[in-house]
Amino acid sequence: MQFSAILLVFAAVATIQVAAQDRCKRSIQYCKSFDPDTGESTNVEYDHCIQYCCGGTVYNRDLNMVCCGNKVVGVPQNTSTQVCCGYNNQFVVHDKTGGDLCCGLAVFNNTNSDLACCNPNDETVINIFTEMCCNGVVSFAGDTAYTACCGDVAYDRRVASCPCQNGVVSGIPEVYADCCYSADHTVQTPYNKVNESCCDGVNYVTASQFCCGNEIGESATQACCGDVITDAVGSVSTGGLACCVASDGSVAAYSPDSQ
């Protein structure tokens, strides 16, 4: 009488277990467990339906539990309370904070959606409204709606620029900035397109200077005669000098208004 009751209970438990597992195809798998003391790996058998292998350890399956990582490297994660940060085949679980943002292996509370990783691979975080990340370096340049990076440094495009890509130029807004290159590109000078021009790598003031054979001349007293800067002869009343080629082939600049 007592014996048959125990048998009945045993049969009932067995039936429940089969019912719970019948959607999982029972399969024996191996979890390679590494023993740091002996330096040896052993294959541990486990039943894929009721267990999982995570970071070389076998765990019983449980509601909300997953592996943060993989069979070789990883830690169990309770998805209802924890977040998994992984980078470069390393994995760490953290308690949830809200809007969790992983940068590298660290987690940040990003409830306000105002953070971003500087690099996916390191733990530097920036406020996207006030900080820039330039080449992995945090840089501050005011309202990030108007900022850009120049190498490692952020600048405000409204008042500065980076035309030659080799340093921030303050005073020349981005829209007016350009880079003046020499023909061989060895000389680079930033300039303001509004009132300056470019002469073989050197900037000059358009209103009062000119570029002549890759040299800069002064409009008030010089002219460009056959690619040569020529001083004006006689008195000069205005800029805008003209060239005079003499019969012997010599050139002179003169002021057409007065001479």
Ligand X SMILES: *[C@@H]1O[C@H](CO)[C@@H](O)[C@H](O)[C@H]1NC(C)=O
The mark string for 9-48 relative to ligand X (x by CB under 6 A, - otherwise) is ----------------------------------------
Q: Is 205 in the site for ligand X (CB under 6 A)?
A: yes
Task: Give the residue, chosen from 45, 62, 114, 152, that forms a contact with ligand X under the rule CB under 6 A.
Answer: 62
Contact at 8 Å (CB) between 60 and 51?
yes
For ligand X, the closer of residues 139 and 197 by Cβ is 197
DSSP string, 1-58: -HHHHHHHHHHHHHHHHHHHHTTS---EEEEEEEETTTTEEEEEEEETTTEEEETTEE
Give yes or no for residue 196 binding ligand X (CB under 6 A).
yes
Taking CB under 6 A as the criterion, the residue among 17, 42, 81, 170 binding ligand X is 81
Chain positions 104 to 133 lying near ligand X, rule: CB under 6 A, are 109, 111-112
97 touching ligand X, by CB under 6 A: yes
Q: How far is the CB of 146 from ligand X (least distance, A)?
A: 18
Residues that contact ligand X, how many (by CB under 6 A): 16
Q: 89-110 burial, b for 16+ CB within 10 Å, e for fewer?
A: eebbbbeeeeebbbbbbbbbeb
Q: Which residue has the tokens 């620029």?
A: 161
Rounded Cα gap, residues 20 and 13, in angstroms: 11
Q: Which residues of this protein are in contact with ligand X, per CB under 6 A?
A: 62, 64-65, 78, 80-81, 97-98, 109, 111-112, 192, 194-196, 205
